């Protein structure tokens, strides 16, 4: 009986997850169980989480169209300082407080392409927000993702991380 | 005092004065062995100009404006020589002419100043000296000395001091408007007047602000009863003024017009709304509306602009991204910033807001703008302009006396909107939502805006700008009579001060003041005559381009729009050469576009130095007259000198000849040409060149359209109707000329006809200009052949005029002055020691001057080798010798400055204290600078402070390592000061746009 219930739940979850899976511009397969919007407020593809604790985590994905960039992601991994400086500048100019850098990472997504991630946290009034940015190449084209969420929303952050790691570049 | 001003200016325009001890016949001279004053012995110019007989002396033509010989054979004749010269030259129509022989004029003027003003020799108190002072200084004769800032603590004295200064400022400004900008940069006397006025205007405004500050901090009880009463009257007047302002307030209309215009702006992504015709007709395009409109467009764009659009633009430059991480992040900056802005805003939208946004983004954006405007209004009155805080020390807590919004002028309101909301830009949406402002009311939003501005460091800047308005508002409330008479009177005095300050703030926004500031800055920074006069001639142009209010802060607020523009860096707009048909980079291309295009054309990446050189070469010739001797230099209209200079800059940066050719031929290092489309059409007709007619016709239409718009705008802003008449006449001439050509030009003439008719309708029906009537095209006759020929020949220089231009060009090289470094070395030392300039500045300035002089010497050498200079050759050789002498002096000074800079590293604390204390000065300077100049200035200051930090840190490290001996207290002191300097470094970066 318990097994049946567990199986049903697993089936339901996987069905739900499959239902959320998106093929983006025939380049990327992406699966995140958040509300998906196309061409909204200037973003081609954006996923919106539920509004919790006065904030709505969100993730944007852009197939950039940049194909002739020969930039080695290893370099970004080795030299993160200029990113932090840039974001510090941005935070300061917007009246936010730059809190902590998040260390850069190189990781492989589901379809084995290498992606790079880096981020930081900042304080906006009483909220601590975590911004992550991701770059990688799919079929030689640069892909950009950016997520913004409350640092305290660990569950949403996990969901984001999993979704990005399970992303697939279509061949 | 006024004579000392001339002296100051004489120092500024340094001449090669010699050791004169006396004056005779207007000549500075030395005394001979028998004690007589003899120009033939002591003045090197005398023999060059005098052709008088023996026993006679030629009157100094630079002083008297004419050549005349007077007897000097007897003692009495010698004593009367000055009077005789005046008498003999009085009939002459010539005036004292600086340009007659500039060297002689300045040499004479400086000597006269030394002898008559400083008492050198024995003639200072003679009638001759008194007469000479007046005779030689008409340019400064009408300028009273500026009154000093009063030391009194008495409010009524301070108030009177304030009024006096204000009156002088207004009078100077009027005089500046009447006489400047100088049309003829060769007219050194006019340049001198403009420059002295510009100094006084900048100085006067500064003094007014200082007096107003004193009034604000003066003790309330320091006012006598009578003064209190009279000022109370003013107080009541202020209340009346407030009422008048309420009645005349047109802010609502301005905002509506700006929003309406903004909505019809092509946002490119979706249509927010349309511009109702009725509203369109009511909007008069006031100067303020432009600022509001841009702000609102920025606001909407921040919501709707597409990230993918930025990527489309970035991808064009992808192959030039360097292999360092910083290159990548710099390239990607626009995307990172914009997406972060938008996503942060998205994060703040609750379900209700999200639903609305999804249903209709346009409606939602409009609704947000209204809500945000209300919040901002509350922020302005309850925070930014709050007259009394519950916690006054930190200007926080509860606002006990908010400003009365209705008592602010429309201009003040717009100013507040443009600076504050402009600074916040799209981010204001996120801030407002962060505080739940939409559901919880405007106060929460206002508090959030305040918190954000305080956190960003902008708050203090904005408060200092607007606090006086709050004080004015407070004072009008005081007029109700609730407070003690003395306090009320003091408040009233402050109201007057505040009103004056407000008035001065308005004056500061006038084109005339900004032109004066630009000129004063140009003079203060390097003081070459040509630079100052160029500033005088061109200063009004950038002023027009600036938004009237808070352009710098506003620009910072437009970061989202800027990001978009930055993203377009790789797309260089192009124009087609009228002469060769070649497609070239548009003169309007940005620096990034220009360098990106250079990389594309050269098919390689530029080093940072080469990118700088491209921009530097591009700037050569800006604001100067071009090859045709008529229009400003620009593409296809550069003089040989200008082209050589561009070439030299590029060569020094390591470009080879082939690359330089590519950069030049593609217009990458060129400016916009001053030649009008009409002039080009005339040239095309003359050359039988019909290839570019279609392009030129379009350009002619666009140029003329712009001219009409500008003339109508100028007239609406109080300009002269004669400009409209002149424009109509010019357009009619164009029409007649083109019509007479027929053929390819038929469409051009009919387009001009349409433009004239449109203009006529507006001027006759809307502007109702007296005496202006619409053109009757049926009665127009074709132009006579004479007119046509004259025009054609004027637009195409013959070989003869080319030679003349060549000489003019050479004259410019000859006259080109150097820099403030031509001052006496002692003057520079004094200024450096007083902290007016730093030795680091001098060192940099010297290096730049030395290069410049070397360039000038090189140009003269080229001119001597290649040009037919005739009698000018002698002067060129003489100039070269002078330049070589100056070069040697400057090299010495650079060495000296270098030594002092090194020495300062041991007197680190002194230098640092000076840097720290100059923040206000920087702030003032930034406020008046154009964004480009402000950026340059920021970089220069930041690098100086950075240099101090480096040196201080080095000293500290050495002290800690035991290499040098320092007490623990000194080490602690140094550490503290280094922290201060780091703060200072941040502050410089924050201050700048």
pLDDT at B481 over 60: no
Contact between B634 and B676 (Cβ < 8 Å) = no
B849-868 pLDDT per residue, tens: 787 788 778 877 877 776 56
Cβ distance A131 to B340 less than 8 Å, yes or no, reads yes
What are A144's strand-pairing partners? A62, A135
Which of helix, strand or coil describes residue B30?
Answer: strand
CA pair distance B848, A3, nearest whole angstrom: 84
**Closest to A64 (Cβ–Cβ): which among B311, B343, B457?**
B311
Bond into B768 cis (ω within 30): no
- Between B402 and B520, the more confident residue is B402
Average pLDDT over residues B467-482: 40
Distance CA B222, CA B155 (A): 6
Strand order across the A168-169 sheet: A22-24, A28-30, A168-169
Helix and strand totals (H; E) in chain B: 48, 9
pLDDT, mean of residues B875-903: 76
On chain A, the residues whose CB falls within 8 A of the CB of B325 are: 75-76, 78-83
Max mean pLDDT among B55-59, B101-105, B619-623, B694-698 falls in B55-59
Contact between B380 and B466 under an 8 Å Cβ cutoff? The reply is: yes
Tell me if chain B has a CB within 8 Å of the CB of A83: yes
Is the per-residue pLDDT at B85 higher than 60? Answer: yes
C-alpha A121/C-alpha B474 separation (Å) is: 42
Q: Measured between alpha carbons, how far is B392 from B467 in angstroms, rounded to an integer?
A: 13
User: What average pLDDT score do residues B689-704 get?
Assistant: 73
Instruction: Indicate yes or no: CB of B303 within 8 angstroms of CB of A42.
Output: yes
pLDDT at residue B686, rounded to an integer: 64
B346 touches chain A (CB under 8 A): yes
Q: What is the pLDDT of residue B926?
A: 56
Name the nearest CA neighbour of B889 among B825, B828, B832, B813: B825
Question: Whole-number mean pLDDT of chain B?
Answer: 64
Q: B-contacting residues of A 35-64, CB under 8 Å?
A: 37, 40-44, 46, 48, 51, 54-58, 60, 62, 64
Q: Is the pLDDT of residue B452 over 80?
A: no
Predicted TM-score (pTM) of the model is: 0.37
Identify whether the C-beta of residue A51 lies closer than 8 Å to the C-beta of residue B351. yes
Q: Are B43 and B157 in contact (CB under 8 A)?
A: no
Check CB contact under 8 Å for A148 and B354.
Answer: no
B8-12 own/partner pairs: CB under 8 Å, 24+ apart: B9/B140, B9/B192, B9/B195, B9/B196, B10/B106, B10/B109, B10/B110, B10/B113, B11/B823, B11/B824, B11/B827, B12/B195, B12/B523, B12/B527, B12/B820, B12/B823
**pLDDT (0 to 100) of residue B728:** 81
Rounded CA Rg of chain B? 32
| Residue B12 exposed, middle or buried by CB count within 10 Å (0-12, 13-18, 19+) | buried
Rg of chain A over all Cα atoms, to the nearest angstrom:
17
Which pair of structure tokens corresponds to residue B196? 């002295």
d(CA B313, CA B51): 72
Number of Cβ within a 10 Å radius of residue B174: 12
> Of the ranges A136-145, B326-335, B666-675, which one carries the lowest mean pLDDT score?
B666-675
Handedness of CA B22, B27, B33, B35 (dihedral sign): negative
Q: What is the pLDDT of residue B16?
A: 41
| Over residues B889-905, mean pLDDT | 71
List, for residues B784-796, the tens digit of each pLDDT value: 333 222 222 233 3
What does each of the 171 residues of chain A score in pLDDT, given as a tens digit? 455 555 445 444 444 444 457 898 889 999 999 999 988 888 889 999 999 998 999 999 999 988 878 788 998 999 899 999 999 888 877 777 899 999 999 999 999 999 999 999 999 878 899 999 999 999 889 999 999 999 999 999 999 999 999 999 997
CB contact under 8 A, B307 and A87: no
Show Cβ contacts of residue B192 under 8 Å, excluding neighbours closer than 6 positions: B9, B13, B139, B140
Contacts of A72 in chain B (CB under 8 A): 323
CB contact under 8 A, B435 and A96: no
How far apart, in Å, are the Cα atoms of B371 and each of A31, B249, B255, B598, B862?
37, 21, 14, 46, 67
Q: Which of residues 411-470 of B touch A (CB under 8 A)?
A: 427, 430-431, 434-436, 448, 451-458
For residues B698 and B53, give the distance between their C-alpha atoms in angstroms, rounded to a whole number: 66
Instruction: Give the containing element (helix H, strand E) for B24.
Output: strand B22-24
Taking CA atoms, A147 is separated from A36, B338, B346, B949, in Å, by 14, 13, 11, 37
| Interior angle at CA A36, CA A35 and CA A40, nearest 5 | 120
pLDDT for the residue B453: 65
Neighbours of B87 (CB within 10 A): 12
Dmax (CA) for chain A in angstroms is 59
Which residue among B318, B347, B455 places its CB closest to the CB of A95? B455
Beta bridge partners of B28: B23
Contact B523, B12 (CB under 8 A): yes
- How does DSSP assign B290-339, residue by residue? HHHHHHHHHHHHHHH--HHHHHHHHGGGGGG--SSHHHHHHHHHHHHHHH
CA angle A74, A78, A80 (to 5 degrees): 115
Give the gap in angstroms from C-alpha A8 to the nearest C-alpha of chain B. 31
Bigger pLDDT: B344 vs B813: B344
CA–CA distance, B512 with B532 (Å, rounded to integer):
15
How many Cβ atoms are within 10 Å of B384's Cβ, its own excluded? 26
Rounded to an integer, the average pLDDT of B70-75 is 86
- Sequential DSSP letters for B456-475: HTHHHHHHHHHHHHHHHHHH
For testing the chain B interface, which of A27, A37, A38, A42 should be mutated: the one with the most B CBs within 10 Å? Answer: A42
Predicted pLDDT of residue B843: 73
Is the distance from CB of B819 to CB of B527 less than 8 angstroms? yes
CA distance A110 to chain B (A): 25
pLDDT of residue A105: 94
The verdict on A18 touching B (C-beta cutoff 8 Å) is no
B723's CB contacts (< 8 A; 6+ apart) are B711, B714, B715
Work out the angle at residue B212's Cα, subtended by the Cα atoms of residues B211 and B216, and round it to the nearest 5 degrees. Answer: 115
Give which of B342, B353, B431, B560 to mutate to test A binding, by max A Cβ within 10 Å. Answer: B342
Residue B361 at interface with chain A, using a CB cutoff of 8 Å: yes
| Choice between B236 and A4, residue whose per-residue pLDDT is larger | A4
Q: What is the pLDDT of residue B436?
A: 44
Residue B405 is given by DSSP the state G
* B581 close to B552: Cβ distance less than 8 angstroms: no
pLDDT > 70: percent of chain B: 42
Nearest-angstrom CA–CA distance, B435 and B439: 9
Give B485-500 pLDDT, tens digit per residue: 344 444 445 555 555 6
Q: Which of B326, B436, B456 sits opposite A92 (nearest CB)?
A: B456
Read off the tokens for B351: 């379900």
Rounded to a whole number, what is the distance in Å from the CA of A19 to chain B's nearest CA? 22
Residue A64: closest C-alpha in chain B: B311
Query: Are residues B347 and A58, on separate chains, in Cβ contact within 8 Å?
Result: yes
Question: B810-849 pLDDT, tens per residue?
Answer: 444 444 434 443 445 666 666 666 555 666 667 777 777 7
Q: So what's the pLDDT on residue B896?
A: 76
Residue B341 has pLDDT above 70, yes or no: yes
Q: B51 in helix, strand or coil?
A: coil
User: Would you state the structure tokens that stand for residue B535, as one six-digit string?
Assistant: 């500033």
DSSP, residue by residue, A115-170:
EEEEEEEEEETTEEEEEEEEEEEETTEEEEEEEEEETT-HHHHHHHHHHHHT-EE-
* Beta carbons of B295 and B418 less than 8 angstroms apart: yes
Report the distance separating Cα B87 and Cα B26, nearest Å. Answer: 13
The answer to whether B342 contacts A75, with C-beta atoms less than 8 Å apart, is no
**Residue B571 pLDDT class (50, 70, 90 cuts):** very low
pLDDT at residue B52 greater than cutoff 70: yes
- Under CATH, what is the fold of the domain A2-169? Protein Transport Mog1p; Chain A (3.40.1000)
Nearest CA to B68 out of B76, B81, B80 is that of B81
What gap in Å lies between CA B788 and CA B794, rounded to an integer? 10
Q: Tell me if B276 sits within 8 A of B264, measured CB to CB.
A: no
CA dihedral B640, B645, B647, B650 (to 10 degrees): -160
DSSP-based helix, strand, coil % in chain A, nearest 5: 30, 45, 25
**pLDDT value, residue B299:** 64
Q: Check pLDDT > 90 for residue B410.
A: no
Going from the C-alpha of B845 to that of each of B294, B837, B885, B944, the distances in angstroms are: 38, 11, 17, 13
Query: Could you give the C-alpha distances from B610 to B323, B529, B602, B651, B820, in angstroms and in order?
Result: 18, 30, 12, 10, 28
| DSSP per-residue letters across B801-846 | HHHHHHHHHHHHHHH----GGGS-HHHHHHHHHTTSS-HHHHHHHH
pLDDT at B643 over 90: no
């Amino acid at each position: 009986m318990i097994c049946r219930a567990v199986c049903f739940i697993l089936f339901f979850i996987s069905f739900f997850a499959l239902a959320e899976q998106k093929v983006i511009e025939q380049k990327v397969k992406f699966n995140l169980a958040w509300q998906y919007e196309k061409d909204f407020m200037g973003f081609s593809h954006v996923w919106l989480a539920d509004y919790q604790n006065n904030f709505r985590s969100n993730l944007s994905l852009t197939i950039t169209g940049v194909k002739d960039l020969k930039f080695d992601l290893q370099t970004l991994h080795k030299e993160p300082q200029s990113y932090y400086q840039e974001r510090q500048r941005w935070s300061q100019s917007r009246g936010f407080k730059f809190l902590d850098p998040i260390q850069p990472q190189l990781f492989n997504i589901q379809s084995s392409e290498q992606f790079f991630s880096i981020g930081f946290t900042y304080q906006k009034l009483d909220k601590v927000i975590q911004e992550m940015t991701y770059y990688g190449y799919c079929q030689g084209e640069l892909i950009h993702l950016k997520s913004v969420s409350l640092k305290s929303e660990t569950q949403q952050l996990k969901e984001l991380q999993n979704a990005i790691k399970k992303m697939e570049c279509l061949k | 005092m006024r004579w000392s001003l001339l002296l100051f200016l004489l120092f500024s325009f340094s001449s090669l004065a010699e050791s004169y001890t006396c004056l005779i016949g207007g000549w500075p001279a030395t005394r001979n062995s028998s004690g007589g004053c003899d120009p033939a012995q002591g003045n090197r110019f005398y023999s060059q100009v005098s052709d008088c007989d023996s026993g006679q002396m030629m009157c100094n033509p630079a002083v008297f404006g004419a050549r005349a010989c007077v007897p000097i054979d007897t003692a009495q004749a010698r004593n009367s020589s000055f009077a005789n010269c005046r008498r003999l030259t009085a009939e002459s129509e010539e005036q004292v002419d600086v340009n007659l022989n500039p060297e002689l004029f300045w040499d004479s003027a400086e000597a006269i100043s030394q002898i008559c003003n400083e008492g050198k020799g024995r003639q200072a108190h003679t009638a001759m000296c008194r007469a000479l002072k007046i005779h030689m200084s008409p340019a400064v004769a009408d300028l009273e000395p500026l009154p000093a800032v009063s030391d009194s603590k008495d409010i009524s004295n301070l108030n009177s001091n304030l009024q006096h200064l204000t009156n002088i400022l207004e009078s100077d400004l009027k005089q500046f408007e009447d006489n400047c900008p100088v049309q003829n940069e060769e007219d050194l006397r006019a340049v001198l007047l403009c420059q002295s006025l510009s100094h006084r205007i900048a100085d006067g405004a500064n003094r007014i602000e200082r007096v107003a500050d004193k009034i604000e901090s003066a003790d309330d009880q320091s006012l006598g009863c009578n003064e209190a009463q009279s000022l109370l009257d003013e107080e009541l007047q202020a209340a009346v003024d407030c009422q008048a302002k309420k009645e005349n307030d047109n802010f609502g209309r301005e905002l509506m017009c700006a929003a309406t215009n903004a909505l019809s702006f092509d946002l490119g992504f979706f249509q927010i709304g349309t511009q109702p015709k009725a509203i369109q007709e009511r909007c008069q395009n006031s100067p303020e509306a432009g600022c509001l409109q841009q702000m609102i467009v920025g606001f909407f764009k921040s919501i709707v602009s597409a990230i993918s659009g930025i990527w489309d633009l970035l991808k064009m430059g992808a192959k030039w991204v360097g292999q360092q991480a910083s290159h990548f992040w710099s390239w990607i900056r626009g995307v990172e910033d914009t997406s972060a802005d938008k996503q942060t805003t998205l994060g703040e939208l609750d379900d209700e807001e999200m639903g609305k946004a999804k249903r209709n983004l346009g409606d939602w954006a409009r609704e947000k703008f209204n809500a945000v405007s209300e919040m901002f209004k509350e922020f302005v009155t309850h925070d930014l302009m709050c007259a009394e805080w519950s916690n006054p020390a930190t200007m926080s807590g509860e606002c006990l006396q908010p400003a009365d919004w209705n008592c602010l002028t429309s201009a003040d309101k717009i100013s507040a909107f443009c600076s504050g909301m402009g600074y916040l830009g799209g981010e204001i949406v996120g801030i407002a939502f962060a505080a739940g402002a939409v559901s919880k009311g405007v106060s929460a939003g206002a508090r959030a805006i305040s918190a954000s501005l305080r956190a960003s460091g902008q708050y203090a800047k904005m408060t200092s700008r607007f606090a006086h308005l709050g004080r004015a508002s407070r004072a009008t409330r005081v007029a109700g009579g609730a407070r003690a008479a003395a306090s009320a009177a003091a408040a009233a005095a402050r109201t007057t001060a505040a009103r004056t300050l407000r008035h001065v703030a308005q004056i500061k926004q006038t084109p005339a003041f900004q032109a004066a500031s630009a000129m004063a800055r140009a003079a203060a920074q390097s003081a070459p005559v040509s630079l100052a006069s160029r500033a005088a001639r061109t200063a009004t142009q950038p002023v027009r381009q600036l938004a009237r209010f808070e352009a710098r802060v506003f620009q910072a607020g437009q970061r989202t729009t800027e990001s978009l523009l930055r993203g377009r860096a790789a797309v260089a707009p192009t124009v087609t050469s009228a002469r060769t048909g070649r497609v070239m980079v548009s003169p309007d291309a940005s620096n990034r576009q220009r360098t990106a295009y250079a990389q594309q054309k050269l098919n390689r990446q530029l080093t940072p130095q080469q990118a700088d050189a491209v921009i530097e070469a591009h700037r050569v010739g800006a604001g100067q007259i071009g090859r045709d001797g008529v229009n400003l230099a620009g593409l296809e209209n550069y003089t040989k000198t200008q082209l050589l200079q561009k070439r030299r800059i590029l060569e020094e940066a390591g470009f080879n000849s082939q690359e330089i050719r590519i950069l030049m031929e593609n217009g990458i290092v060129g400016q916009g040409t001053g030649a009008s489309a009409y002039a080009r059409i005339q040239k095309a007709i003359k050359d039988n060149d019909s290839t570019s007619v279609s392009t030129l016709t379009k350009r002619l239409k666009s140029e003329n359209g712009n001219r009409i718009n500008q003339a109508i705008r100028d007239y609406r802003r109080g300009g002269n109707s004669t400009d409209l008449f002149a424009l109509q006449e010019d357009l009619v001439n164009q029409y007649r000329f083109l019509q007479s050509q027929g053929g390819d030009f038929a469409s051009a003439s009919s387009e001009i006809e349409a433009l004239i008719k449109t203009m006529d309708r507006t001027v006759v029906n809307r502007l109702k200009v007296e005496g202006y009537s619409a053109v009757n095209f049926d009665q127009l006759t074709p132009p006579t052949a004479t007119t046509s020929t004259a025009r054609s020949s004027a637009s195409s220089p013959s070989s003869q005029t080319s030679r003349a231009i060549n000489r003019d060009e050479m004259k410019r090289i000859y006259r080109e002055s150097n820099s403030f470094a031509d001052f006496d070395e002692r003057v520079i030392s004094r200024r450096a020691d007083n902290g007016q300039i730093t030795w680091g500045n001098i060192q940099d300035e010297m290096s730049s001057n030395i290069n410049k002089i070397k360039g000038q010497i090189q140009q003269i050498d080229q001119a001597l080798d290649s040009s037919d200079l005739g009698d000018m050759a002698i002067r060129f050789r003489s100039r070269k010798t002078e330049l070589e002498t100056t070069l040697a002096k400057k090299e010495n000074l650079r060495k000296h400055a270098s030594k002092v800079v090194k020495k300062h590293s041991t007197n680190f604390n002194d230098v640092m204290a000076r840097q720290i204390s100059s923040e206000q000065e920087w702030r003032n300077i930034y406020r008046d600078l154009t964004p480009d100049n402000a950026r340059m200035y920021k970089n220069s200051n930041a690098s100086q402070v950075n240099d101090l930090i480096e040196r201080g840190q080095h000293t500290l490290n050495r002290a800690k390592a035991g290499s040098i001996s320092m007490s623990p207290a000194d080490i602690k002191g140094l550490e503290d000061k280094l922290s201060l300097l780091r703060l200072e470094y941040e502050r410089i970066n924050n201050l700048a746009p």
